[in-house]
Structure 1
Amino acid sequence: MRFLIIYKPDHRAPCGPENMEEMEKRVDEAMKSGALLATGGLVPEGVKVRRKEGAVTITDGPYAEAKEMVAGFALFELESMEVAVESSKDFLRYAGDGECEIRPLMEGSRFADRD
């Protein structure tokens, strides 16, 4: 299964430079194994594009509060949600305080079932 893992840091406890080397090593290992398909950090600027009742609005953002900031993402191919949870727990040991939101991707017939 594919999982999108979204990281939201606790801004009071950012990842320190002492952990970056180990985190980079683990990212490289996960990429080489094929489990990690893509990853990246996100800058705190952007826009929201919203459509409601046919009207489109664009607002600066995308965050109403700093605690909502998404700092990064990772796209994994893993065996189960349990493995995704363990991967997230491992990541947080190096990233520092914050949270990871794990979202399974709809694929194949699961996507077709939405109709």
Structure 2
Amino acid sequence: MQFLMLVCGEPEGTTTAVTEDDREAAPDVEQWWQSANDEGTYVMGERLRPATEAVTVRVRAGQVLRTDGPFAEVNEIVYGFDVLECDSMDEAVRIASGHPMAYAGVIEVRAMWPFDGGE
């Protein structure tokens, strides 16, 4: 089963603010990648351009509406993503917990929902 990791940052002053100890405890991203790759769970990942460069697309009444900027104002900023191949959500969470941004930001893990006609 594949899982999407949304790699996000949190703004300063949140209730889960990052401490200096958290930053120092964070593993190196290359070490995280190497470990996930060696386990055979890493599928792919990329950084994303800043949210300010996003374009939101809607189709209403047959017209394409393009809006510059992100869809919504949110606290977390998505910096990138990774796709994992894991046997369970627990395994995906274990791998996500080793990512440096779990220490300095937030990782959202979602199971992929393939288009196979089933639920």
What TM bracket, shorter-length normalisation? 0.7 to 0.9
For normalisation by structure 2, the TM-score amounts to: 0.73
Task: Pick the aligned partner of 2:40 from 28, 34, 37.
Answer: 34
Which structure dedicates a bigger proportion of its chain to helix? 1
Q: How many pairs are equivalent? A: 109
Runs of 4+ deviating beyond 6 Å: none
Structure 1 partner of 2:117: 112
Q: For 2:9, give the aligned amino acid.
A: P
% same residue: 30
Structure 2 residue runs without a partner (length 5+) = 13-17
1:15-60 CA distance string (max 9 Å, x none): 969957x221220232243211111111112211112343321111
| DSSP 3-state at the match of 2:55 | strand
Helix, strand or coil at the partner of 2:64:
strand
Return 5+ residue gaps in structure 1 as ranges.
Answer: none
The one-letter code of the counterpart of 2:43 is L
After superposition, where does 1:1-115 map in structure 2 within 5 Å?
1-12=1-12, 13=18, 19=26, 22-44=28-50, 45-62=53-70, 64-65=72-73, 67-91=75-99, 94-95=100-101, 96-107=103-114, 111-113=116-118
